[in-house]
Structure 1
Amino acid sequence: MADGALSEIFQLSGLNLQTFLVFFVAFLLACLYLRRPRNLPPYPAGCWPVLGHLLALGRAPHLKLTAWRRQYGDIFTVRMGMEDVVVLNGYAAVKDALVDRSELFASRPQNYIFDLINGFGKAIVSTQWGKAFKQKRKFASTILRTLGVKEGMGSIEEKIREETGFLCAKVAKYGGQPFDPESDLHFTIANVICSIVFGNRFDYGDGRFRDLSDAVLVTMDRLGAGQIINVFPFLRFVPGVNKSLHDVKKYNAKIHAFLWDEISCHRQKLDRENPRDFLDFCLVELEKGEKIEYFTEEHVMYMTFELLFGGLDTLTSTVRWCLLYMVLYPDVQKKVQSELDAAVGGAQPALSHRAQLPYTEATLMEVQRMRPVGPLGLPHATTQDVTVGEFDLPAGVMVLTNLHSLHMDPAYWPDPDRFDPERFLDTEAKVIKKPKSFMPFSGGRRGCLGEQLAKMELFLLFSSLLQNFTFKSPEGAPALSVEGDMRLTLTPYPYKICAI
């Protein structure tokens, strides 16, 4: 009866099912268009229904966005599935958003998998802009400074140098034979973070430590593979497609179990008058409740997770890029080593040597310019309606800052594809401390919380490795690639080198 009535309606109106579907799809597309804010920046070509620009962006979106900048200008809109995302390119537009008007761009958009691993706002990075974010960010920054993430007296430098010594000893054991440096770098950097968070380092062969480090790495990898679920969250229910999400949950559970064990042990041994590490400070705050409102043990666990997660993959990838470029540019490697020999000699490099090692520091900056591990930073969201140039951005719209476009801008970096550390030195061969159009750690209210620690580790690791070894490509090995694999971060493809 019902089927017959429906058929009769179509016949009476002169419609068939195919025509109805065409009209229905056209109606949906019209609704989507009309819902779109009228004065958003323009779309580049290549926008498909439902998919948006996903196919056009490909596997290296930072490169495509930078190419579109030349055609569409510094500000345009890309369609990620069904959502508009405003992209800011170039130093002027990015600095305006991240630094000059930081609070207007300081929130975060919804991102299903990223929000999931950060407890839907219980950590810091994914927390929406507001009082809770400010309190947690200030609290964490103060603890890190208290624990020595600073230069001068009371610095964590000695722990980093100690860990660097273990790394150099491990590399020496390869006896000049080919090896992949990723695993050793990963354990070294993880131990520095563990010294801050848990108050102690772990032996490289410690089973729990290796499981923790591996779980963090696998989670990072699966997060990158699962980005399509962030665009289309309903895919988390589709078997096969949701495998990356299941892997994230599985390895996340292992990390959480490790952290809950550490929290339990720290609670039992807590000296409230003399907190030793990040967990101790958090547990003291948990009891006092003086600096963070509505603070729970879950917040402690997720903030600790974020410290482990945020600094491990990014710094490991940065040092791997540094070693790769030294192999590709042996003349730069020799110049760094000559500077180290003259300024440091046989002593272990220290932060106090920085002023005497301008070319070494410039080399690190040039690697970060060419291959920033976060070429698009983390997504931002506007906190209110805001005007950018001639365009109007509504509150809550997602904003991507294309940092790669800053670093490869010929207006600031002549011949930007050329690897040249001397572009970071002034006429007196001193490091240009705050060069324009250079933001490897992003900036503003949402700048990297671990920037100071990362800079300390990067300088000490790199200078110690170059002081002790000359890095070369194995005999007959294929040429190293500088393209990189863009997932959650931009990482080098796996490679092997020899440390002589």
Structure 2
Amino acid sequence: MAGAVEWITESVQEILHVQIPGLTLQTILVLCGAFLLAYCVFKRSSNLPPYPTGRLPVLGHLLAFGRTPHIKLFTAWRRQYGDVFTVRMGMEDAVVLNGYTVVKDALVDRSKLFASKAPTYLFDAMTGFGKDIITARWGTEFRQRKRFATTVMKKLGMKVGPGGIEDKIREEANCLRHRIAENNGQPFDLAHDITVAVSNIIFSMTFGKRYDYEDETFRELSEAIATISFEVGSGQIISVFPLLRFVPVVNRSAINAWEEQSKVEKVVREEISRHWEHLDRENPRDFIDFCLLELEQRGKVDGLTEENVLYMTSDLFFAGSDTTAITLLWSLIYMTLNPDIQNKVQQELDTVVGESLPTLAHRSQLPYVNACLLEVMRIRTVVPIAVHATTQEVKVQGYDISNGTRV
């Protein structure tokens, strides 16, 4: 084999040397490398959606996005290029979908064709490179993990009576109400208390316990989760150019995120160990209990490991705590800025619920309250851009989108 490679190398060098005198093997390799780089930068499908103007080598459209990329992508460029076009994210193409018809076709009517995740280095690194659910690539293991987690959360959420999630939400809401009352109508910052209340619901479902509002472990965990969310958002340049993680100063956001992630993982690992010691196989109490039973029985999720349990549990924190707390805080801000709407919400609650706490059974009787919450989520979306990836080659409005393309 080595002799064959040597013969091919010498033959190519001899042919090129005849055509271009003085050409060395090193020069040939440099030229080949430059050719491959140019090919990777400029290659594209012959029927890919159009590029907006402003694309640069290596950087692509990154500089053209400006300070409000969501406005550029979904408003300005949509008017100019239509509902489907391609942007260059560094060295990678991403297809942008706009408008109700196109988005519904892709994410609802043909959801399985757009159900994967494209590589995103920072997220991948903090979730064991696909060992969780949120960043896992499309495939059998991903589908089994997602189905298992969804089933468990439904069991926990629909449990009736003491220990049910609705009971825990009412208990936490009551604690929050007392915390607010302690301020005797004086101004105060509600952000921490809201975060604790929401996070305690997540912890109840995952750990089977709640934390006191002043608990030091809980405070560190909450601060770590908030810091990770901020640093990951600040360090997205590393997801576009992963090699920058080795560059001092530029990699500061990534380093901070990984340091805080290690704190979260430490708490979750301790909880997993505690659950192994006190596991009631006949009466699983929370998400970790169900996961540990699955680890023993191997019935629903192929190849499930304790690492998967760690990262799946972490997913619940990041997907459920900060997002819900931020939505509730925006709701309070808008209620404060719109007292007339606040009064209508209060009147509906007083009429339907009275002086007690609301339950899930009241939801259908509270259309105005529901409408206000939905409006807050519409105008203050927690995640402004939904990122998917194709699971096979697919056509959208006559354009060809290859397998694995970021959408």
Give the TM-score, by structure 2 length: 0.88
Counterpart position of 1:380:
388
Q: In 1, Cα distance between the equivalents of 2:382 and 2:317? A: 17
What CA distance in whole angstroms lies between the structure 2 residues aligned with 1:130 and 1:252?
26
Counterpart code for 1:52: G
Matched, 1:59 2:67: yes
Q: Determine whether 1:284 maps to 2:293.
A: yes
Checking the alignment, whether the CA contact within 8 Å between 2:70 and 2:385 is kept in structure 1 is yes
Which structure has the highest helix share of the two? 2
Q: For 1:283 and 1:131, how far apart are their aligned partners in 2?
A: 20
Say whether residues 1:137 and 2:159 are aligned partners: no
Q: Tell me the amino acid that sits aligned with residue 394 of structure 2.
A: V
Task: Please give the per-residue CA displacement for 1:378-430, whole angstroms capped at 9, x wherever unaligned.
Answer: x211111111112100111100xxxxxxxxxxxxxxxxxxxxxxxxxxxxxxx
Distance 1:341 1:34 in 2: 63
Residue 397 of structure 2 is aligned with which of 389, 407, 417? 389
Residue 168 of structure 1 is matched in structure 2 by 177
Aligned pair partner of 1:351 in 355, 360, 378: 360
Deviation at 1:332, TM superposition (A): 1.0
For residue 190 of structure 1, what is the aligned residue in structure 2? Answer: 199
**Aligned residue runs from structure 1 range 394-473, under 5 A:** 394-399=402-407
Partner of residue 242, structure 1: 251
Cα deviation, residue 45, structure 1: 2.1
Question: For residue 48 of structure 1, what is the amino acid of its counterpart?
Answer: L
Partner of 2:350: 341
Q: Aligned AA for 1:78?
A: V
**1:318–1:149 distance in 2 versus 1, CA, 3 Å:** farther
CA contact (8 A) 1:343 1:357 kept: yes
Q: Is the 8 A contact 1:190 1:312 kept in 2?
A: yes
State the Cα deviation string for residues 74-105 of structure 1 (Å, max 9, x = none): 10111111111000011111111111111111
- What SS class does the counterpart of residue 387 from structure 1 fall into? strand
Residues 262 and 153 of structure 1, relative CA distance in 2, 3 Å threshold: closer
Q: Is the 8 A contact 1:164 1:188 kept in 2?
A: yes
Aligned to 2:268: 259
- Please state whether the residue corresponding to 1:129 is helix, strand or coil: coil
More displaced stretch, 277-286 vs 51-60: 51-60
C-alpha displacement at 1:319, in angstroms?
0.8
- The residue number in structure 2 matching 1:105 is 114
User: 2:41, 2:57 within 8 Å by CA — same for their partners in 1?
Assistant: no
Tell me the CA shift for residue 215 of structure 1: 0.9
Matching residue of 2:135: 126
The residue that corresponds to 1:43 in the other structure is 51
Q: Which residue of 1 aligns with 2:303?
A: 294
Structure 1 CA distance for aligned equivalents of residues 397 and 193 of structure 2: 47
Alpha-carbon distance between aligned partners in 2 of 1:137 and 1:172, rounded to the nearest angstrom: 40
Q: Does the C-alpha gap of structure 1 residues 148 and 30 become closer, same or farther in structure 2, counting only changes over 3 Å?
A: closer
Provide Cα deviations, 1:119-167, integer angstroms capped at 9, x if missing partner. 1111111111111011101111111111125789985111001101111
**Partner Cα separation in structure 2 for residue 34 and residue 208 of structure 1:** 50
Worse-matched range after superposition: 141-150 or 114-123: 141-150
Q: Displacement of 1:238 after TM fit?
A: 0.3
Is 2:83 the partner of 1:80?
Answer: no
Contact in 2 for aligned 1:50/1:82 (Cα 8 Å): yes
C-alpha contact 1:148 1:154 (8 A) present in aligned 2? no
Q: Shift of the alpha carbon at 1:226? A: 0.7
Give the 4+ runs in structure 1 shifted more than 3 A.
23-30, 149-155
After superposition, the C-alpha distances for 1:313-353 in whole angstroms (9 at most, x for unaligned) are: 11111111111111222211111111112222212122222
Do 2:131 and 2:308's aligned partners in 1 also have CA atoms closer than 8 Å? yes
Which residue identity is paired with 1:43?
Answer: Y
Q: Which structure 1 segments of 5+ residues have no match?
A: 1-8, 14-22, 400-500
User: Aligned pair in 2 of structure 1 residues 292, 47: CA closer, same or farther (>3 Å)?
Assistant: same
Taking a change above 3 Å as real, the CA distance of residues 151 and 390 of structure 1, as seen in their structure-2 partners, is farther
For the pair shown, the structure with the greater C-alpha radius of gyration is 2
Residues 1:230 and 2:239 aligned together = yes
CA positional deviation for 1:30:
5.2
3-state SS of the aligned residue for 1:362? helix
In structure 1, how many angstroms separate the alpha carbons of the residues matched to 2:72 and 2:94? 15
TM-score w.r.t. length of structure 1: 0.72
Q: 2 CA distance for matches of 1:292 and 1:29?
A: 41
